[in-house]
Amino acid sequence: MAPLAERLRPKTLDEYIGQKHLVGPNAVLRKMIDAGRISSFILWGPPGVGKTTLAQIIANRLETPFYTLSAVTSGVKDVRDVIERAKSGRFFSQASPILFIDEIHRFSKSQQDSLLGAVEQGVVTLIGATTENPSFEVIRPLLSRCQVYVLKPLEKDDLLELLQRAVTTDLVLKERKIELRETTAMLRYSGGDARKLLNILELVVEAESSDPVIITDALVTERLQQNPMAYDKDGEMHYDIISAFIKSIRGSDPDGAIYWLARMVEGGEDPAFIARRLVISAAEDIGLANPNALLLANACFDTLMKIGWPEGRIPLAETTIYLATSPKSNSAYMAINDAIALVQQTGNLPVPLHLRNAPTKLMKQLGYADGYKYAHDYPGHFVRQQFLPDELKDQRIWHPQDNAAERKHQERMQALWGKEKY
């Protein structure tokens, strides 16, 4: 018998749970589907949020041939074979066949290149699914021909609705007397992943031989401890481990960080995935407290691309330990977030005239660049002047944190701008 997650896979958009920003009333994908025509797109989101299901629902709704490939097992020849079948099996009145590629981020450049012509000519409508940022993993020519839609982890209410649907409508579970007395543990272990949630439910129910099955947090925890991988059959623990890895680095624990790195290495994790997270951590968590961390993380990424695997584990380990033992600061991360929030709050404020570019005579006559002071003409290559819009001229955005490197930056800013500002 098929697993519970497969038995409960929705067949229509009305049965589909979550992603209201894409398929709810008047949402962008819903409008395209209702119009009967879709363009190629990529669904980006974590595991178990409905990427494959959504693609299948769209194909059923449009009544168009649906071809599927897995990037893990398919090569260039498989792609070309599917494209040829799509060409030969298409009728003029039909919408383009849909080619769904799961884990498209695992496709090589040559495999992605082999799709370009068919997508561009409308031979197939491509729907790709990926758990990785497409801007890193999908070649630019293909990405430019596809919209990218972001799927979100399911919310608590979505997951509770799914649990109720499972115990009341599934042909197997509705024959059992199941009481969902407590759901906190199931929701916590699932992490917003519908498939993982249903795997947990199925595991717990199957382990109970008699009715009623009263599901409590203690029961769920006990069953998962007895069979810790049962709710992670498809490798979704990948997200839990990368989270533990980054948090160990942020928490300055080199032992924890190197342990979780080893778990990823042994689990067959994509080395580039790890290297990218190290670059992000260097900028987000170490930041200005030790700017060399970002240089080392980038060098690690480049080295990994050059030397490959398994030797690549060594620069990954070196960088991991360096980042974990570095002083920490998120002042740059906080500054850009605060600046973006300020822009969203205040809108497109005008650039002060003295900061504007003045390439034409008319612009100079209008006062563009008038009054601008060229810093290099002044002692110490600095002169006080206003650089923010008038409405924000006294706004502070960057706040230095308490570490040796940023104290030096702060002292310099105080010498230039005065202690009243910094």
Output helix, strand, coil percentages for the chain, rounded to the nearest 5.
55, 5, 35
Q: Do residues 383 and 392 touch, judged by C-beta distance below 8 A?
A: no
Ordered per-residue pLDDT tens for the chain, 422 residues: 788 888 888 888 888 888 889 988 888 888 888 888 888 999 998 888 889 899 888 888 888 888 888 777 777 788 888 888 887 766 554 667 888 988 888 887 888 888 888 888 888 889 999 888 888 778 888 888 888 999 988 888 989 999 999 989 888 888 888 889 999 888 888 877 888 889 889 888 888 888 888 999 888 888 877 665 444 434 446 677 888 899 999 998 999 999 999 988 877 778 888 999 999 999 999 999 999 999 999 999 999 988 887 888 999 999 999 999 998 999 999 999 999 988 888 888 888 888 877 767 766 676 667 788 888 888 888 888 888 888 888 888 888 888 888 888 888 888 888 887 77
Of 162, 218, 220, 236, give the one whose Cα is nearest residue 186.
220
Q: Do residues 142 and 56 touch, judged by C-beta distance below 8 A?
A: no
Q: Do residues 385 and 393 touch, judged by C-beta distance below 8 A?
A: no
Strand partners, 126: 99
Neighbours of 188 (CB within 10 A): 11
Contacts of 242 (CB under 8 A, 6+ apart): 260, 264, 269, 273, 274, 277
Q: Do residues 342 and 397 touch, judged by C-beta distance below 8 A?
A: yes
Helices of type H across 228-348? 237-250, 254-266, 271-281, 292-307, 313-325, 331-346
**For residue 5, what are its two tokens?**
């997650």
Q: Do residues 286 and 325 touch, judged by C-beta distance below 8 A?
A: no
Q: Which amino acid is at 420?
A: E
d(CA 95, CA 33): 12
d(CA 188, CA 211): 25
Q: Exposed, middle or buried, 88 (CB in 10 Å: 0-12/13-18/19+)?
A: exposed
Eight-class DSSP state of 215:
E
Specify the DSSP element, H or E, that contains 101. Answer: strand 98-102
